[in-house]
Structure 1
Amino acid sequence: MNLADILAQAGGIESMAKELGVPPGVAQQGAEALLPAILGGFKKQAQGGGGIEGLGALLGQLGGGRLLDSVLGSQPTPIEPGNEVLGQIFGAKDVSRSVADHAAGQTGISAGLLKQMLPILAMMVAGYMAKQGGQGQQGGSGGLGDLIGGALGGGGSSGGLGGMLGGVLGGAGASGGGLGGLGKMLDMDGDGNPLDDIIGMAGKLRG
């Protein structure tokens, strides 16, 4: 099960579809195209900002699990917290535009709609990671490694935030090559910078 499926099961994709007035299938397709870039942004943030512990602290500063609750709630989703998350993981608005343009080319969904999806998805991912990270290093069912280890290339059931990002960050449980399954899938030119590839074949990630 990939992260888009997990967010759909939690009700996040349906909430986003209602928010934007699009069919759930379109929201799901957009999420699947955008989530690798969002996860890549969190990967880059963790690599340059204190690792898993630093990322966990950042998630708390941005709103923690409340970010996901805001999307799932009955009230309209406040977009500003999502834009703050994007600002942290992408560093510049033109990166968000490049991510949306790239996903538009993959899906046929308009870049404008995808740009509207980005902050909502960023809130869902950040909130979900914060909630799972708060579980600590649980094993077995409920551990984050069990939930999305396949999507991220981590094979363990360590749970917690470390279990989620271990494969992406090249930490414990990652498959060979240091990037894990997701990193290998995203790193199209083999330079070790998957997000650089996602946001545009020619552009460089700022900051």
Structure 2
Amino acid sequence: MNLTDILQQAGGIESMASELGVPPAMARQGAEALLPAILGGFKKQAQSAGIEGLGGLLGQLGGGGLLDSVLGSQPTPVDQGNDVLGQIFGSKDVSRTVAGQAAAQTGLDSGLLKQMLPILAMMVAGYMAKQGGQSGGGGGLGDLIGNVLGGAVGGGAAPSAGGLGGSLGGLGKMLDMDGDGNPLDDIMGMVNKMRG
């Protein structure tokens, strides 16, 4: 089961769809296009800060409560999602680039995809925090990140286990220009070129 399926089962895709006023199928399509970049961002955090560092960061950002905020009946506090995106992408330019690439792939409006990004980031961070139990550090969170971020991103060890195995699809391959399995460094390169 990929991460999109997990988030759909948890009710996250449906919740995001109703909040943005779009059909669930459209929300799922957007999620599948955006999740590889979000997961790539978390993988980069895990690589630079270690699993414990990522667990601590998830806790600071709101932990499992992030997923609860998306699933709750109140409007999603997207500022928290933007904080998550700031941590994993480092700049709004990357978020814009990710949304633009996903729009080109799916035909969905990039403005809509930009609205989906913080909500999806909250769902992924909250899900990882809940599954990892935060205090587990190297245990639960490490295994979960191995599974969620493994697969196509981790070098192909377990393509069926990771959310990216199924959802990386054309966008991930298109963005992963150097073939290292992590499209985020290539996105960052594109953003730097745009600035220069």
- TM-score when scaled to structure 2? 0.81
Name the residue aligned to 1:195.
Answer: 184
Report the CA distance between 1:83 and its aligned residue.
0.2
Report the CA distance between 1:163 and its aligned residue.
1.5
Question: Within 5 A, what are the aligned runs for 1:45-56?
Answer: 45-49=45-49, 51-56=50-55
1:54–1:25 CA distance, 2 compared to 1 (3 A): same
Deviations 1:132-182 (A, max 9, x none): 000877xxxxxxxxxxxxxxxxxxxx9722112225767xxx79x846444
Long gaps (5+) in structure 1: 138-157
For the 8 Å contact 1:43–1:168, the answer to whether it is kept is no
Name the residue aligned to 2:14.
Answer: 14
User: Of 155, 162, 166, which aligns to 2:146?
Assistant: 166
Question: Within 5 A, what are the aligned runs for 1:84-99?
Answer: 84-99=83-98
Q: Within the alignment, does 1:125 sit opposite 2:124 as a pair? A: yes
For the 8 Å contact 1:169–1:179, the answer to whether it is kept is no
Q: Which amino acid aligns with 2:118?
A: P
> What is the CA–CA distance in structure 1 between the aligned matches of 2:185 and 2:12, rounded to whole Å?
27
Question: Within 5 A, what are the aligned runs for 1:43-82?
Answer: 43-49=43-49, 51-82=50-81
Name the residue aligned to 1:107.
Answer: 106
For the 8 Å contact 1:100–1:114, the answer to whether it is kept is yes
Report the CA distance between 1:48 and its aligned residue.
1.2
> What is the CA–CA distance in structure 2 between the aligned matches of 1:117 and 1:193, rounded to whole Å?
21
Q: Which amino acid aligns with 2:190?
A: A
Show structure 1 runs of 4+ deviating over 6 A. Answer: none
Deviations 1:90-124 (A, max 9, x none): 00000000000010011000100000000000000
Long gaps (5+) in structure 2: none
Which structure is richer in relative contact order (CA contacts within 8 A, separation 6 or more)? 2
Name the residue aligned to 2:40.
Answer: 40
Percent of residue pairs bearing the same amino acid type: 76
- TM-score when scaled to structure 1? 0.77
Name the residue aligned to 2:24.
Answer: 24
RMSD, aligned CA: 2.9
Report the CA distance between 1:34 and its aligned residue.
0.3
For the 8 Å contact 1:133–1:162, the answer to whether it is kept is yes
Q: Which amino acid aligns with 1:48?
A: S
Q: Which amino acid aligns with 1:130?
A: A
Q: State how many pairs are aligned.
A: 180
Name the residue aligned to 2:133.
Answer: 134
